[in-house]
């Protein structure tokens, strides 16, 4: 039997390869940080990680993980409601609730699990989900698992959102689902307008803070802080795998009753092992660091401004951003791949994105800045962009 299926798989893989969409893993031989070694020891500067606050290799988090493992063991060998809950899990949930100013939090193995386990327990076929067209795949998959009526509006288009809300008045309950920061463009959802429409039409609001927490807002507390709309967003989901240490783990945080029902019915929570102690201990430490000081967020946003201003001065087309994501627009798919290869030859680790990951004819290099980048790192990357841009006739 496998012979026939094997041929099918080989054909599918060949089609992916011929379309230029085959994903090859690039090997890193150091901790995740600004300066890394790849392949056979080749040195590079990393500008494509989600390590926004530079905590992935932070010694305080590493020490916290070691101490927690020594004190509480390696793994939990259980789901939360059987015998997989330690006091540390509750401490981390409390720290997340404090950070987002919410009533309660539930931990998951990833934000993909958090989004995948969110909608089905809360909504039924007589309800409605109104989703931004550029939402993350995890939100899309979570919506698919739910029987609620689905509406979709163009990215950040509040006029189209309002039309969806008007149509959704036929349903019992409504929820608007959106990313806080959209990962390919770096734009922030217009949460002030979204919340105003939600209030007008009687809808709940859910936002995925994976790319906005630790980044957006005066002190990086996310979109509620950015727009000063605390109390108007009902559900936040997010990850510990970006700003908050870069390992793994996700969460949903919001109203107490919502979180309580998720504990009763959310399948990824009920049927997955709880987060291991080392991850939890490091997560607690990460939120402790962010309570102490806004230094990392300030450094990050200074780096974003420095990089973006100089790249625009050099003539590059950069999408507007209120995040740590800078989309260097090239438009042509093949050019984006050639540009990324040339940048790696210059010792700069970046990735080119093109259709269907981004809209057709919207290919770009997505640069992700970090508080771990020093000015010398930024200058070296900008220099490589300028050199490559001139060689490939992107800039003059």
CB 46 within 8 A of CB 349: yes
Tokens of 69: 């493992």
Q: Strand, coil or helix: what is 305?
A: helix
Spatial distance between the Cα atoms of 387 and 307, rounded to a whole number of angstroms = 15
- How many alpha carbons fall within 13 Å on the CB side of residue 145? 20
Q: Which one of the listed residues 136, 242, 297, 373 is annotated catalytic?
A: 242
For residue 349, say if its preceding peptide bond is cis, omega within 30 degrees of 0: no
Tokens of 126: 């007589």
Annotated active-site residue 183? The verdict is yes
Cβ neighbourhood burial of 74 (10 Å; 0-12, 13-18, 19+): exposed
Q: Which one of the listed residues 97, 183, 323, 370 is annotated catalytic?
A: 183
Annotated active-site residue 89? The verdict is no
Tokens of 165: 């809300």
Cβ neighbourhood burial of 256 (10 Å; 0-12, 13-18, 19+): exposed
Spatial distance between the Cα atoms of 180 and 235, rounded to a whole number of angstroms = 12
Helix pair angle (277-292, 295-313), 10° resolution: 80
CB 354 within 8 A of CB 363: yes
Is the dihedral angle over the CA atoms 22, 28, 32, 35 positive or is it negative?
negative
Tokens of 2: 């496998």
| Integer-rounded Cα radius of gyration of the chain | 22
Annotated active-site residue 211? The verdict is yes
CB 350 within 8 A of CB 47: yes
Tokens of 257: 């009753």
CB 266 within 8 A of CB 116: no
Q: Which one of the listed residues 33, 89, 136, 211 is annotated catalytic?
A: 211
Catalytic residues: 183, 211, 242
């Amino acid at each position: 039997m496998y012979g026939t299926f094997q041929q099918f798989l080989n054909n599918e893989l060949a089609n992916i390869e011929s379309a230029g969409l085959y994903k090859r893993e690039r090997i890193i031989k150091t901790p995740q940080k600004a300066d890394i070694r790849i392949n056979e020891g080749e040195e590079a500067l990393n500008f494509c990680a989600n390590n926004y606050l530079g905590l992935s290799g932070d010694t305080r988090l590493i020490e916290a993980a070691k101490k927690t493992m020594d004190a509480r063991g390696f793994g939990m060998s259980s789901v939360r409601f059987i015998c997989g809950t330690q006091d540390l899990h509750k401490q981390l949930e409390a720290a997340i609730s404090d950070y987002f100013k919410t009533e309660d939090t539930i931990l998951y193995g990833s934000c993909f699990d958090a989004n995948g386990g969110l909608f089905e327990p809360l909504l039924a076929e007589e309800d409605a989900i109104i989703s931004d067209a550029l939402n993350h795949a995890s939100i899309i998959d979570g919506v698919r698992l739910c029987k609620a009526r689905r509406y979709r509006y163009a990215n950040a288009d509040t006029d189209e959102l309002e039309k969806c809300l008007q149509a959704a008045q036929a349903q019992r309950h409504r929820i608007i689902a959106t990313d806080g920061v959209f990962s390919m463009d770096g734009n922030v959802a217009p949460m002030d307008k979204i919340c105003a429409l939600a209030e007008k039409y009687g809808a709940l609001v859910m936002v995925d803070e994976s790319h906005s927490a630790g980044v957006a807002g005066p002190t990086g507390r996310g979109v509620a802080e950015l727009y000063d709309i605390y109390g108007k967003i009902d559900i936040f989901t997010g990850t510990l795998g970006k700003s908050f240490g870069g390992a793994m783990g996700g969460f949903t945080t919001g109203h107490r009753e919502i979180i309580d029902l998720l504990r009763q019915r959310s399948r990824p929570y009920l049927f997955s092992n709880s987060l291991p102690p080392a991850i939890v201990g490091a997560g607690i430490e990460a939120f402790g660091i962010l309570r102490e000081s806004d230094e990392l967020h300030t450094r990050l946003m200074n780096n974003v401004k420095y990089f973006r201003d100089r790249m625009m001065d050099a003539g590059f087309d950069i999408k507007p951003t209120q995040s740590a994501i800078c989309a260097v627009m090239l438009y042509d798919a093949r050019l984006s791949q050639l540009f990324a290869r040339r940048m790696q030859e210059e010792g700069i680790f970046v990735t080119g994105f093109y259709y269907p990951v981004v809209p057709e004819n919207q290919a770009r290099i997505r640069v992700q800045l970090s508080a771990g980048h020093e000015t010398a790192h930024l200058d070296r990357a900008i220099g490589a962009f300028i050199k490559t841009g001139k060689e490939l006739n992107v800039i003059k």
